[in-house]
């Protein structure tokens, strides 16, 4: 009937994926983030739970084992890997989360393929539901103590380097712009040669932020490693807390994503990434209030003359 393979190493890999005091939230986000690190039977359980969370919440442990082609013992190990004492706690967590999502209107066919003939109203509902779910999952996964550490480091930094490739580079440029407006010496680098040259000049008291949803982008890993080797505090923004990028960083900020048609994980992660970086930016501004307020006022005044006067375009 069911197999009994033991994935003990994978089972312990994601136990600490979320802060202990927030285990009632973001159950599916934790499963989604940890699924890539699981193997064999444990991974099949994760995939089955994610494919139909409401059915998983209604199933007994034996039913879930049969549907996922595993065993009750594997289900128990999976529960522990997700930070729950047993299957009853996991079921309650999933049921509570799907219930909240349903009442908030986030479950409008999330995961359904967008068809060429779908009206734009349907597509809009799909995107809004997916993004809303990803935002709430990110809030549940995010360790605010890590955000605090990153904000303190950036607020006191001599300079901040931000590294990212492709779409992550665009997100990094948004963060650089925000920090620059409040007087933080920040640079965003997407070219690996220029980034390495800049990273080599960092030192103790500086900060390097690497952005990669998968945490496996080789260039970003190399840039963050170079900065860390020079003594800079390293921060990773990623969707995978056990990824190579996260493993080498001093501080890890985790985001969730909810893929839709034409927007795979790497693209759908953009809005949650921006939310986390916006939170980090505000936290830095709070800790440098007087300097930030003065810098923001001066930068606003500097560009004010380039705004069209009211009535001039009529």
Q: Does residue 288 share a domain with residue 142?
A: yes
Q: How far is the C-alpha of 257 from the C-alpha of 268, rounded, in Å?
A: 6
Q: Does residue 269 share a domain with residue 175?
A: yes
Q: Does residue 261 share a domain with residue 175?
A: yes
Q: Does residue 141 share a domain with residue 99?
A: no
Q: How far is the C-alpha of 249 from the C-alpha of 30, rounded, in Å?
A: 20
pLDDT at residue number 135: 86
Q: Does residue 95 share a domain with residue 158?
A: no
| Adjacency order of strands within the sheet including 186-189 | 186-189, 160-164, 207-211, 233-238, 251-254
* 83 assigned to some structural domain: yes
Q: What single DSSP character describes residue 21?
A: G
What does each C-alpha distance from 42 to 13, 47, 79, 108 come to in angstroms?
11, 9, 10, 28
* 127 assigned to some structural domain: no
The total number of structural domains in the chain stands at 2
Q: What is the CATH number of the domain that holds 52?
A: 1.10.10.10
Q: Does residue 177 share a domain with residue 89?
A: no
Which is more confidently placed, 103 or 227? 227
Q: How far is the C-alpha of 83 from the C-alpha of 178, rounded, in Å?
A: 36
Q: Does residue 149 share a domain with residue 95?
A: no
Q: Does residue 274 share a domain with residue 170?
A: yes
208, 236 contact by CB (below 8 A): no
Position 264 pLDDT exceeds 70: no
Q: Does residue 259 share a domain with residue 181?
A: yes
Q: Does residue 296 share a domain with residue 173?
A: yes
* 15 assigned to some structural domain: no
Q: Strand (E) positions, 119-185?
A: 160-164
39, 20 contact by CB (below 8 A): no
Report the share of the chain in percent with pLDDT over 70: 83
Position 8 pLDDT exceeds 50: no
Q: Does residue 99 share a domain with residue 36?
A: yes
Answer with the one of 56, 88, 103 that is the final residue of a domain.
103
**What six digits make up the tokens of 48?**
């089955």
Residue range 136-191, pLDDT digits in tens: 888 888 999 999 999 999 999 999 999 999 999 999 999 999 999 999 999 999 99
Measured at the CA of 203, the angle between CA 199 and CA 205, to 5 degrees, comes to: 120
Q: What is the mean pLDDT of residues 120-126?
A: 85
Q: What is the mean pLDDT of residues 37-56?
A: 86
- Any idea how long the chain is? 314
Q: How far is the C-alpha of 131 from the C-alpha of 33, rounded, in Å?
A: 16
Find the domain containing 47 and state its range: 27-103
Q: Could you tell me which residues come within 8 angstroms of residue 199 by beta carbon, excluding any fewer than 6 positions away? A: 161, 163, 208, 223, 224, 226, 227, 230, 232
Q: Does residue 64 share a domain with residue 186?
A: no
Q: What is the CATH number of the domain that holds 236?
A: 3.40.50.10490
159, 231 contact by CB (below 8 A): no
**Most confident stretch, 29-38, 61-70, 80-89:** 61-70
Position 313 pLDDT exceeds 80: no
* 169 assigned to some structural domain: yes
């Amino acid at each position: 009937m069911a197999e009994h393979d033991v994935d003990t190493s994978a089972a312990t890999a994601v136990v600490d994926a979320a802060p202990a005091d927030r285990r009632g939230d973001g159950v599916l986000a934790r499963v989604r983030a940890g699924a890539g690190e699981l193997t064999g039977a444990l991974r099949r359980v994760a995939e089955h739970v994610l494919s139909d969370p409401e059915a998983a919440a209604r199933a007994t442990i034996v039913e879930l084992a049969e549907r996922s082609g595993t065993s009750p013992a594997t289900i128990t190990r999976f529960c522990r890997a997700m930070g729950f004492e047993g299957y009853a706690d996991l079921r309650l967590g999933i049921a509570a989360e799907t219930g909240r999502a349903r009442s908030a209107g986030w479950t409008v066919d999330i995961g359904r393929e967008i068809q060429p003939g779908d009206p734009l109203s349907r597509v809009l509902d799909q995107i809004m539901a997916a993004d809303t779910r990803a935002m709430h999952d990110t809030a549940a996964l995010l360790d605010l103590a890590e955000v605090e550490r990153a904000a303190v480091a950036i607020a006191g930094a001599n300079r901040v380097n931000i590294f990212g490739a492709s779409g992550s580079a665009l997100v990094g440029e948004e963060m650089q712009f925000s920090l620059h407006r409040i007087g933080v010496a920040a640079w965003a680098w997407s070219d690996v040669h220029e980034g390495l040259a800049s990273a080599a000049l960092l030192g103790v008291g500086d900060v390097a932020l690497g952005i990669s949803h998968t945490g496996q982008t080789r260039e970003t890993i190399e840039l963050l490693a170079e900065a860390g080797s020079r003594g800079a505090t390293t921060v990773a923004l990623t969707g995978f807390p056990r990824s190579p990028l996260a493993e080498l960083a001093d501080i890890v900020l985790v985001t969730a994503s909810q893929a839709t048609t034409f927007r795979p994980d790497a693209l759908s992660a953009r809005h949650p990434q921006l939310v986390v970086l916006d939170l980090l930016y505000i936290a830095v501004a709070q800790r440098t209030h007087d300097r930030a307020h003065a810098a923001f006022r001066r930068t606003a005044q500097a560009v004010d003359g380039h705004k069209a006067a009211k009535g001039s375009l009529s």
